[in-house]
Amino acid sequence: MTYKFDPTVLREYDIRGIIGETLGPDDARAIGRGFATLMRRAGGSRIAVGYDGRVSSPILEHALIEGINASGCDVVAIGMSATPMLYYAEASAEDVDGGIQITGSHNPANYNGFKMVFQGRPFFGEDILTIGRMAAEGDWDDGTGTVESRPVLDDYIDCILLGLEGIDTNVLDGLRIGWDAGNGAAGPALEALAARLPGEHHLLFTDVDGNFPNHHPDPTVEANLEDLRALVAEKNLHFGVAFDGDGDRIGAIDGEGRVIWGDQLLMIYAEDLLARMPGATVIADVKASRALFDHVSAHGGKPLMWKTGHSLIKSKMKETGSPLAGEMSGHVFFADTYYGYDDALYAGIRLIAASARLGKSVTELRSAMPPMVNTPEMRFQVDESRKFAAIEEVKDRLSKTDAVVDGTDGVRVTNADGWWLLRASNTQDVLVARAESETQEGLDRLMGQIDEQLTLSGLERGENAGH
DSSP string across 230-269? HHHHHHT-SEEEEE-TTSS-EEEEETTS-EE-HHHHHHHH
Decide if 411 is inside a domain.
yes
Regarding whether 240 and 210 lie in a shared domain, the answer is yes
Decide if 5 is inside a domain.
no
Regarding whether 199 and 307 lie in a shared domain, the answer is yes
The pLDDT of residue 464: 44
Quick one: residue 309, left, alpha or beta (phi over 0 = left, psi -120 to 50 = alpha)?
left
Given 105, 289, 329, 457, which residue is catalytic? 105
The pLDDT of residue 463: 47
CATH number at residue 413: 3.30.310.50
The rounded distance, in Å, linking the Cα atoms of 20 and 154 is 35
Contact 346, 163 (CB under 8 A): yes
The pLDDT of residue 384: 82
Regarding whether 331 and 380 lie in a shared domain, the answer is no
- Residues in Cβ contact with 158 at an 8 Å cutoff, skipping those fewer than 6 apart: none
Dihedral sign (CA 49, 113, 305, 130): positive
Regarding whether 216 and 122 lie in a shared domain, the answer is no
The pLDDT of residue 216: 92
Decide if 450 is inside a domain.
yes
How many CB atoms neighbour CB 440 within 10 A?
9
Regarding whether 139 and 103 lie in a shared domain, the answer is yes
One-letter amino acid of 346: Y
442 burial type by CB count under 10 A (0-12 exposed, 13-18 middle, 19+ buried): middle
The rounded distance, in Å, linking the Cα atoms of 99 and 97 is 7
Instruction: Indicate the SS3 state at residue 10.
Output: strand
Regarding whether 145 and 26 lie in a shared domain, the answer is yes
Regarding whether 74 and 101 lie in a shared domain, the answer is yes
Decide if 467 is inside a domain.
no
Decide if 290 is inside a domain.
yes
Regarding whether 121 and 65 lie in a shared domain, the answer is yes
Q: Which segments of the chain have a pLDDT < 50?
A: 463-467
Instruction: Indicate the SS3 state at residue 372.
Output: coil
Decide if 466 is inside a domain.
no
What phi and psi, each to the nearest 5 degrees, are found at residue 192?
-65, -40
Confirm whether 315 is a catalytic residue: no
Range(s) of the domain holding residue 385: 373-456
Query: Which of 116, 151, 186 corresponds to the end of one domain?
Result: 151
Decide if 229 is inside a domain.
yes
Q: How many domains does the chain have?
A: 3
Regarding whether 237 and 294 lie in a shared domain, the answer is yes
CATH number at residue 65: 3.40.120.10
Query: Which of 303, 338, 367 corresponds to the end of one domain?
Result: 367
Decide if 19 is inside a domain.
yes
pTM over 0.85? The answer is yes
Regarding whether 257 and 338 lie in a shared domain, the answer is yes
Query: Which of 322, 339, 367 corresponds to the end of one domain?
Result: 367
Regarding whether 354 and 241 lie in a shared domain, the answer is yes
Regarding whether 137 and 58 lie in a shared domain, the answer is yes
> Residue 427's Cα: distance from chain center in Å?
14
